[in-house]
Amino acid sequence: MIGVLARPEQRASVEEFFELFKTPWEHYRPGKSYDVVIVTADTVPETDARLIVILGSSPKQTERDLGVVAGSKRRDAVLAGGPDPLPIYGGLQTFRTSEEQRALLSVGDEVAAFQVGEPGHRTVRAGYDLFDEVSILLAAGQPVDFAPYCTLELHIEYLRKWMLGAGVSFFEIRAVPAGYDFIACLTHDIDFVGIRPHFVDHSMLGFVYRGTVGALRRFVRGRMSAARLLRCWSAVLSLPFVYAGWTKDFWEPFDWYLEAEKDLPTTYFLIPFKGVAGERVPGSQASRRASAYGVSDIQQSVQKLRGAGCEVGVHGLDSWHSVEKGCAELKAITDASGAASVGVRIHWLLQDENTPAVLEQAGYSYDSTCGFNECPGYRAGTTQVFRPPAAKKLLELPMHIQDGALFYPKRSNLSEAEAFERCETMFANAERFGGVVTLLWHDRSHGAERFWGDFYKELIGSLRARNVWFGSGAQVVEWFRSRREIRFEEETTASGSREIGVSYRGPKPLHQFLVRVNLPHKDFATVPTEGAISEDIHWNGESGIVPNLRKLLEDANTSAIHPLT
């Protein structure tokens, strides 16, 4: 059991952190014995814990006992010392260490975290505040320059590593259903339902330019093949026939995506109202945010999507800042789809610090706006569904990869080979940390003049070849919501010993939970933490898991436990 002694204002951040690192913990109670004590408060209690983790950029009362000598004060540092750099966005205190103090993390030639003591009674002192970092990541998010970093997952990984290095055995509920390596969520923002509704407007004229002069420039620069150049010109020449209804509209999205994603649950975020640009839209081209369709115009397509097992959500216009308009936009989609529970992604990814509370009050079940327009990556530093600080029940499904962020010239401007490598790296991160990879492919990206459809099919093929659960946005959020219903309580047995009780209080989960038992190597005092052992148990949420956990934890210090292959 972990005891957490944090500052009062950090309570919500502590609780959300341990929804992500789902392991037994509680707020610290004086006089109680813990395996691990984490302290961000000014006062550090006397404890017999195997590991004490003291965090924060402010001096603690135990500094003299630890022989701590303060170094410099910093902000916005990147720490080295592990397999991945660790960005820090709040305050950072560095230290001057002695021979007895082993450096764990550093910035430049200064120590940012160190450990002292022997396994069995070890102290880790880090010069940053973990729970302040969690609050920053889940509220404001990371700067775009740090988009590739799974920062919050790294915080969990470092804490896990320090626990194992101190000889602490513990279990956790992994952020992935049992039997899978990670989750994939395929989504589409439907801004256009075809080019036919656009006649001599900026969308049509822009397409003609990009499909002729723009395509030729890309061909000359080696960014487009001759075959695609000819397809672009052919599409432009076909426009009169498309408008006459004699030729299929090459921007129509639904049939193409239903075929490309055959048998996969997918989420479509649809515009609720035609011709509404929305209020408080920044930039000189705000009027272009208005769509040429509203959900009532595509009722037949909505029923087709629902019949294929797809989810329909709101591509919000003013939901991000207005409860009243958020309710109206939600009603437009529920009237069209008949769905009882609906998620939202705001058009152009507009949001502010109040958006989660506004969406929650309007009645949305989840949001999926948290992501970058500029590049693929982790805006909140996590692969997991989380609850934003401004919300009480609303959950956030982070968006990680979108087509325009990969390929637009003013964004990442990657070649297809570079983009595929970037996506594969993110899939590997999901295999490592668990959680979900959420993809966004826009309505017309499969056709002229973008031609990003073949690349998208290749991405889906790569995901299908992996051990992945494909879930719609609603399904993914429902599974994570179920995981949040798992509770840990310390109980006293008939013999007087204490053990952790595990209970599940939610409805039957879509997939079983993966319970991972982390055991230090039997020679943890000398063997690096990479030699730690893990055992996995699949659990359906019913009673009966405690005896299995007890046996594995009791075997932790016997020679019967060996590293898994």
Interacting residues of 4 by C-beta distance below 8 A, sequence separation 6+: 14, 18, 25, 26, 27, 28, 37, 38
First vs last Cα of the chain: how many Å apart? 28
* Per-residue pLDDT at 120: 78
Which one, of 19, 14, 394, lies nearest residue 175 by Cα? 19
Q: Which among 448, 480, 512 is the end of a domain?
A: 480
Kindly state whether residue 272 falls inside one of the protein's structural domains: yes
CATH code (residue 329): 3.20.20.370
Q: Which among 430, 462, 480 is the end of a domain?
A: 480
Query: Within 13 Å of residue 15, how many CA atoms lie on the same side as its CB?
Result: 12
* Per-residue pLDDT at 543: 76
Kindly state whether residue 37 falls inside one of the protein's structural domains: yes
Same domain as 355, residue 280: yes
pLDDT for residue 432 is more than 60: yes
> Considering its fold, how many domains does the chain have in total?
4
Same domain as 468, residue 329: yes
Structure token pair of residue 414 = 């990657």
3-state secondary structure at position 78 = strand
* Distance, CA of 429 to CA of 427 (rounded, Å): 5
The answer to whether 227 and 270 have CB atoms below 8 angstroms apart is: no
> Which residue in the block uniquely carries the two structure tokens 């692969």?
383
* Per-residue pLDDT at 364: 98
Better-scored residue on pLDDT, 101 or 90: 90
* Per-residue pLDDT at 473: 98
* Per-residue pLDDT at 556: 55
> Which residue in the block uniquely carries the two structure tokens 């053990």?
499
Kindly state whether residue 367 falls inside one of the protein's structural domains: yes
CA torsion 141-142-147-150 (nearest 10°) is -80
Same domain as 210, residue 259: no
* Per-residue pLDDT at 496: 64
3-state secondary structure at position 413 = coil
pLDDT for residue 525 is more than 60: no
* Per-residue pLDDT at 68: 77
Same domain as 261, residue 138: no
Same domain as 70, residue 7: yes
pLDDT digits (tens, 9 = 90+) for 340-386: 899 999 999 999 999 999 999 999 999 999 999 999 999 999 999 99
Instruction: Label residue 97 by pLDDT band (50, 70, 90).
Output: confident
The answer to whether 458 and 448 have CB atoms below 8 angstroms apart is: no
Amino acid at position 189, single letter: D
CATH code (residue 94): 3.40.50.880
pLDDT for residue 516 is more than 90: yes
Q: Output DSSP code: residue 508.
A: P
Same domain as 310, residue 226: no
Same domain as 362, residue 327: yes
What is the percentage of the chain residues whose pLDDT exceeds 90?
Answer: 80
Kindly state whether residue 562 falls inside one of the protein's structural domains: no
Same domain as 463, residue 361: yes
Same domain as 215, residue 287: no
Over range 308-337, report the average pLDDT: 97
Kindly state whether residue 564 falls inside one of the protein's structural domains: no
Same domain as 490, residue 468: no
Over range 272-288, report the average pLDDT: 95
Range of the structural domain that residue 216 is part of? 197-242
Kindly state whether residue 176 falls inside one of the protein's structural domains: no
Q: Report the alpha-carbon angle 456-477-308, nearest 5.
A: 55
Interacting residues of 195 by C-beta distance below 8 A, sequence separation 6+: 203, 204, 207, 239, 242, 249, 250, 251, 444
pLDDT digits (tens, 9 = 90+) for 150-162: 999 999 999 999 9
Count the residues in the chain: 565
pLDDT digits (tens, 9 = 90+) for 11-36: 999 999 999 999 999 999 998 999 99
Q: 189: part of which helix (H) or strand (E)?
A: strand 182-190
Same domain as 211, residue 223: yes
Instruction: Label residue 524 by pLDDT band (50, 70, 90).
Output: low
Structure token pair of residue 97 = 């260490």
pLDDT digits (tens, 9 = 90+) for 119-140: 778 999 999 999 999 999 999 9
Kindly state whether residue 174 falls inside one of the protein's structural domains: no
Over range 307-332, report the average pLDDT: 98
Q: Which among 454, 480, 506 is the end of a domain?
A: 480
Same domain as 469, residue 408: yes
Kindly state whether residue 401 falls inside one of the protein's structural domains: yes
Average pLDDT of the chain is: 92
